[in-house]
Amino acid sequence: QLQLQESGPGLVKPSETLSLTCTVSGDSISSVTHYWAWIRQPPGKRLEWIGSIFYSGSTYYNPSLKSRVNISIDTSKNQFSLQLSSVTAADTAVYFCARQFLREAFEYWGQGTLVTVSS
């Protein structure tokens, strides 16, 4: 059974870098039919796609965040990671990782982790 689990600090200071890791179990992250994605949900706001990565390391990002985002993948550990730099209070959100069919629907999601940006 496929499971995705986010991990990382729940509190990040303004101007610092947010770092999260998603550990995948029950499926190989080296799938040729799936991307691996990060999505966030600020309190009371709609979901926002951050970016996605293929097992080869190929990435594509939301242009609104592209200058601050880096997504990487470690196939040996079946994990992929998110780094978001220069964070502000506006980056406070629940962050989800998900498996994405090609570049289409998000088929399975992690439980989500709340990251608060505050000094």
Give the interface with other proteins as residue ranges (CB under 8 A): 46-49, 60, 62-64, 96, 101, 103-112
DSSP conformational letter for 68: G
Core vs surface per residue 15-26: b (16+ CB within 10 A) or e: eeebbbbbbbee
Nearer to other proteins, 15 or 116 (CB): 116
Q: How far is the CB of 83 from other proteins (least distance, A)?
A: 18
Nearer to other proteins, 16 or 41 (CB): 41
Nearer to other proteins, 63 or 76 (CB): 63
C-alpha span between 54 and 45 (Å, rounded): 28
Q: How far is the CB of 115 from other proteins (least distance, A)?
A: 15
